[in-house]
Homo-oligomer: A and B are copies of this chain.
Amino acid sequence: MTRDEAQALLDSCELHALLGLELLQFEPGRVRFRFAPPASARAGEGGAIHGGALATALDTAATFAVISSIGADATTVDLRLDYLRPAVGAELTVDGATVRAGRRFAFADATARADDGRIVASARGTFTW
């Protein structure tokens, strides 16, 4: 799957753009997003990002890592989310990485980092296709 095809897949659901999720890198097993959620996905102006918006960004990054590994669309079977620190910045960097892609399912991770490099939230999930 090319980066353009991955972008088209991302564009096929408006929620990604509404939440300020932008694809920066798409390489086999490794993807990166810029995540700049609007005020509507925060607890008030400049407030903490909603855990569900973070979940969406992490799930998307982990899923796209799997997609980049297997070359086809994938869906989440289950996901663990850890909210390590308050997510208050204007913008986060969200990385997805495939941990292992087998014949029938894959494991992938995602991390959301603040400007200072600290992880504010992370995820580990199982995916299938």
Contacts and interface: CB of A to CB of B under 8 A. Distances in A.
Size band of the interface chain A makes with B: 35 or more
Given A52-B59, A84-B99, 9 more contacts: A12-B43, A13-B43, A14-B41, A52-B56, A75-B83, A77-B126, A78-B80, A78-B82, A104-B104
A128 B78 CA distance: 13
Interface string A39-79: 11111100000111101110110010000000000011111
Interface of A: 12-15, 18-19, 39-44, 50-53, 55-57, 59-60, 63, 75-85, 99-100, 104-105, 107, 119, 122, 124, 126, 128
A56 B59 contact: no
B85 A81 contact: no
